[in-house]
Amino acid sequence: MSENRDHVVDELLEAVWTCREDGQVTVDHCLERAHAEVGMSELIAVQDMGLIIIKNHSVEFTEKGVKRAESIIRRHRLAERLMVDVLGLTSEQSEKMACEFEHAIVPEVTNGICTLLGHPKECPHGKPIPPGEDCKSGRIEVTSALRPLSQVPCSERLLRVAYLRTSDHDRLHQLLSLGFSPGVEIRVHQRTPVLVVQVEQSEFALDYEVAGDIYVWFGEENHR
Amino acid sequence: MRGDLLGAGENEKRYRRRRRRRQRLARSVRHNFGRDTILIVGHLKVGKSTLFSWLVGKKQVQFTYPSTGVELSQGFLSTGKYRKLVDAPGIISLNDRSEDAFVIRDLLTRKRVGAVLLVLDAKNLKRGLALAVHLAEFELPLVVALNMVDESAQRGLEVDVKRLSNLLGVPVVETVAVEGRGLSQLKRKMATPRPLRINLEYPDYLSGLASHVASVLEGYPLSARAMAYQLVTGLKRAYEVLDDHVDLDVAEKLSEEIRQQNDSWKTQPDIAITKVANRQAQNIVKKVLKTQGDIRTRFADRIGIWTRRPSTGIPIAIVTLVAVYVFVGWLGATVLVDLLEGKLLGQVFIPWLQGWVDLIPESHLWFRELITGDFGLVTVGIALPLGIVLPVLATFFFAFAVLEDSGYLPRMSLLLDRAMRRIGLNGKGLVPLVMGLSCVTMAVLTTRMLDTKKQRIIATLLLVLTAPCAPLLGVMMVVLADLGLGATILVFGIIFLQVIIVGMAANWLLPGRKQDFMLELPPLRLPKLKNSLSKTAHRLYWFLKEAIPYFIIGTLVLYIFQQVGFLDVIRDASRPVLVKFLGLPKESADLFLMTFVRREAGAALLAQQMQSGLYDGVQAMVALVVMTMMMPCVNTLLVMFKERGIAVGSALLVFVMIYALLLGALMNLVLRAIGVEF
């Protein structure tokens, strides 16, 4: 399955990145370092995707490859920090969970975690975390939090949607179709008797139960 | 999934079903569709119908899509190789489970139309373009109308139309439908629709399956990619189309393959596809949308804010309702009715006609009676609808059109959401209920927009029981104008109280879960007089065309009953109920007979009978309430049975009739006991 393949590609890119940090980018090192069951054929497949170049038994990233590897490493190490700092796991436990976690989070959430953790520079093992765009743009390190839309006061502030938490399929589909997708910026105009929310140029009335399923980043705007 | 539904030996049945459906469809399809037809597609409230009206003019026909209840409008285009234009209802998305979306997919997949006119709201380009991305899978040539460019400009948004047209590969025309701007250009471009240059980029885990399904279906007389899109998305009704056009074994194998894959998917395909299309749309928006700094807050926007805040909104709502009441109740029901029925018909036309009729010899008295008698075709059959109903209806339709065009109604829904929940509905339920004050039949049809069965039943019950439709409401106002403001408040108060009592009881009794409330609030705009007037004229035309025959038939029936003496028999027979139970004069039997034919005809007859002093105040009020609540008109009955089914429909009808009689009797007792007089 292709989802599985993405998984393998990510693992290989991750291995190449860490080998590069150690300065040993031979094919053998890279294969050994990878967390998945992989061999030469997978490595060549990744080369065919235009992500790496294999030359004289050593591996180099292409420009596309670096970007993707950087993103996956960033997710992995931020996940580790989250486990250790916030959830209080040991770094060994965190390592294993982070491997799962890194595949599951979308870019919006990655940046959110980064902001939440105050833009950490290193992972619990002391390795550097590649900075995201928010970190580069010099956003002041702050703590930020997710809140359901039903608990957000009304103001002219733009709030970014983090995710939709709902098991109700029809509700999810309808919200997405109306434009409430993760990453979109919305405003809360009114709270009684129901919420009035602006998405792009449309206003919607939502009841509290529906609004409770829309989680937004709350607080980051103060520090922009 | 579907495989489970089909036991052995079901194939034969399916074949027969398929044939029946085909025949039924073929008939309607020949009439209304074809390769020379353009279908209008767009989200809710983007101005599709306004554009449609401008494009085809007054010659419009409404019809329902076979084996669904979806109403479509059709009109003719004067130029180009496309001759017909069909307006479909607005949708939220192309891949949702609503019946409206199904009809649109069905038309496109089976290639029943030749091209699509996609109407987008320029203010909400991203959402509109997401729809375009979905539409790309249906492989039909397309023209895009970028509507409401005036409102988007006010919001500081500017769309690079040329670039957008290049990216999509189709003609894009800027329009302002309410003003008719950009229409001649749109008409020109509609002669040359082009296929979209974009494709839906399926998420990785679906793309293989989608292309596989499409390749299997290549060569059948339907759009292979559209079919693949629907099957992969998990839209079950797509199998109906598959069954109709594809060999059974192929269809069987495909559905099995999809079912197997389905089990291994983590994300629901329709959710994943919606996300992908949104992202693709966002990428296009980035390239074509320019935002300027200066955003003018329109005065209308400020009023828009006032209308949705409870502190200002509730007073505004009350003022609005009073204004509508004054406009319809005073101008329509008093001034115009006086003018038309009292002066023009009563003092000029009918005396003049009477002069001629009196020339008919005494021996043909029956013929005199037929024309100008108690139940004469002219004095009742024509004078009632034209003299009493028409003026009131004209003012009501106009007021309603203004409210509709202004975008005010959803704001009222918002304010009333909580109150509506008490009676088992929510803010959305306001729309059918308010529609019920226009036409109960249409309103019962719109209960489809409600999401749960419980809500649809409650809404239908409240509509059939309590809502006086515009014609009836108008005549009620004529009657009540004679009785005074106190009686008016009392009658409407009693009816309104029933909405609360019956609604709360039904909410408590019927099982069902609570429904989400998500409603788009369109910006408030000043309605264009011309549009509201033409809407009013259109609705009046349909009313007269439909209602006058009923009035004439009703009058004719009463006339014949009177001539053969049957009327007295009925009057005597219904005496126990009407006279004893409800305290009405025995002539009121005529009203109820007429009411069976058409509700406002009964009420109009009441207005006439009242002039001869047959009723006192209490009797008139009881008659009005019972008439309003007891009997839905023939059309409403048909629609109710069709929408709710025979069982629920019959239950509702029996309940409504008994409830109305009991309430009438109670009213009579109480009002007499406390000695109310009007």
Give the pLDDT confidence of B86-128 residue by residue, as tens digits.
Answer: 999 999 899 888 888 999 999 999 888 999 999 999 999 999 9
Instruction: Enumerate the residues of chain B whose CB falls inside 8 A of the CB of residue A169.
Output: 268, 271
CATH of domain B32-189: 3.40.50.300
Angle at B603 between CA B600 and CA B608, to 5 degrees: 125
Q: How far apart are CA B575 and CA B569, in angstroms?
A: 10
* Residue B136 tokens, joined: 């790309």
Instruction: Mean pLDDT check: name the lowest of A90-94, B58-62, B653-657.
Output: A90-94
CB contact under 8 A, B517 and A206: yes
Judge whether residue B542 has pLDDT over 90: no
Task: Identify the H or E element spanning B131.
Answer: helix B125-136
Instruction: Enumerate the residues of chain A whose CB falls inside 8 A of the CB of residue B266.
Output: 3
pLDDT at residue B8 in the model = 45
Domain B204-291 is of which CATH architecture?
Orthogonal Bundle (1.10)
Q: For chain A, say whether B302 makes contact (Cβ under 8 Å).
A: no
pLDDT band at residue B611 using 50, 70 and 90 as cut-offs: confident
Average of per-residue pLDDT across B543-555: 82
Roughly what angle, to the nearest 10 degrees, separates helices B617-630 and B453-466?
Answer: 150
Instruction: Enumerate the residues of chain B whose CB falls inside 8 A of the CB of residue A179.
Output: 124, 126-127, 278
Cβ contact B404:B588 at 8 Å:
no
Q: How far apart are CA B251 and CA B243, in angstroms?
A: 7
- Where in chain B are the domains? 32-189, 204-291, 310-513+541-673
Q: How far apart are CA B445 and CA B447, in angstroms?
A: 5
Q: Class assignment of domain A2-61? A: mainly alpha
In chain A, residues 183-202 whose CB comes closer than 8 Å to chain B: 189-190, 192-194, 196, 200-202
Q: Which one of A7, A9, A173, A213 makes the best mutation probe of the B interface by having the most chain B beta carbons within 10 Å?
A: A173
Judge whether residue B350 has pLDDT over 70: yes
Q: What is the mean pLDDT of chain B?
A: 87
Judge whether residue B231 has pLDDT over 50: yes
Omega before residue B632 within 30° of 0, cis = no
Dump pLDDT digits (tens) for B351-401.
999 888 888 888 888 888 888 887 888 888 888 788 878 888 888 889 988
Judge whether residue B296 has pLDDT over 70: no
Q: How far is A109 from chain B (nearest CA, A)?
A: 16
Partner residue facing B518 (CB), from A1, A181, A210: A210
Bridge partner list, B119: B42, B145
Q: Closest Cα to residue B240, out of B384, B437, B25?
A: B25
- Where in chain A are the domains? 2-61, 73-136, 145-223
Cβ contact B515:A171 at 8 Å:
no
Q: How far apart are CA B324 and CA B333, in angstroms?
A: 12
Grouping H, G, I as helix, E, B as strand and the rest as coil, residue A52 is strand
Q: How far is B657 from chain A (nearest CA, A)?
A: 36
Partner residue facing A210 (CB), from B126, B152, B517: B517
Instruction: Mean pLDDT check: name the lowest of A81-90, B53-62, B522-531, B594-603.
Output: A81-90
Instruction: Enumerate the residues of chain B whose CB falls inside 8 A of the CB of residue A206.
Output: 517-518
Q: For chain B, say whether A178 makes contact (Cβ under 8 Å).
A: yes
Looking at this predicted complex, what is its ipTM? Answer: 0.79
Average of per-residue pLDDT across B256-280: 85
Bridge partner list, B38: B85, B115
Instruction: Enumerate the residues of chain A whose CB falls inside 8 A of the CB of residue B310.
Output: 192-193
Q: For chain B, say whether A21 makes contact (Cβ under 8 Å).
A: no
Q: For chain B, say whether A56 makes contact (Cβ under 8 Å).
A: no
Chains A–B, number of C-beta pairs less than 8 Å apart: 110
Q: Class assignment of domain A145-223? A: mainly beta
Query: First and final CA of chain A: distance in angstroms?
Result: 42
pLDDT band at residue B10 using 50, 70 and 90 as cut-offs: low
Q: Do domains A2-61 and A145-223 have the same CATH topology?
A: no
Q: How far apart are CA A60 and CA B324, in angstroms?
A: 75
Q: How far is A202 from chain B (nearest CA, A)?
A: 7
Q: Give the Å distances, CA to CA, from A206 to A168, A188, A194, B417, B470.
A: 15, 10, 6, 10, 31
A204 → chain B, closest CA residue: B520
Q: Class assignment of domain A73-136? A: mainly alpha
Q: How far apart are CA B331 and CA B467, in angstroms?
A: 22
pLDDT tens for each residue of chain A, 224 residues long: 455 777 888 888 888 888 888 888 888 888 888 776 778 888 888 888 888 888 888 888 888 888 888 888 888 888 888 887 777 677 777 777 777 777 777 766 787 777 777 777 888 788 888 887 767 665 544 445 778 898 888 888 888 888 887 778 888 888 998 989 888 889 999 998 999 999 988 899 999 989 988 988 876 544 33
What is the number of alpha carbons within 13 Å of residue B630 lying toward its C-beta?
A: 26
